[in-house]
Copies of this chain bind each other. A is one copy, B any other.
Amino acid sequence: MAWIFSSDRPIYLQLTDRVISGILTGEYPMGSKLPSVREFAEIASVNPNTVQRALAELEAVGLIDNQRTTGKFVTEEEERITMAREKRGSALARDFLKNMTDLGYDSDQVSQLLREAQEEKEEDEDGYAGY
């Protein structure tokens, strides 16, 4: 059950990403209580301190509200969530574009590559039959 982390990035960052994903996709709905730090640690087979650190990032951005002794909650301000999403998304797009340009790709080629990656991905998903 332990979550899988790649070793080329700090675990705590991968954790935050994962939780952000969860928030954006509705796995952790707006206003809902997140699993406790200790639960998260158990689920991900990671030290509670690491979880703490991961969630601290999210508090800083305002995606998570802390209610001292009750637990951590996904913010109820939809605005924060969408803003975070857009900010992140366009940053990713910008960086991606920059990298591709440095590699000498023009925008048509980029689109082409993305289409291929998309198909590749769908095949994988088919392969695993929905898992």
Chain A residues near B (Cβ < 8 Å): 7, 10-11, 17, 20-21, 24-25, 65-68, 85, 88-90, 92-94, 96-105, 107, 110-111, 113-114, 116-118, 120-121
Contact = CB atoms under 8 A, between A and B. Distances in A.
B100 A117 contact: no
A94 B66 contact: no
A105 B88 CA distance: 11
A97 B118 contact: yes
A92 B85 CA distance: 20
Given A67-B7, A89-B100, A117 B94 contact: yes
Q: How many copies does the complex hold?
A: 4
Nearest to A97: B117
Contacts of A105: 89
Contacts of A66: 7
A113 to B, nearest CB: 4
Contacts of A89: 100, 103, 105, 113
Given A97-B121, A104-B24, A118-B107, A113 B90 contact: yes
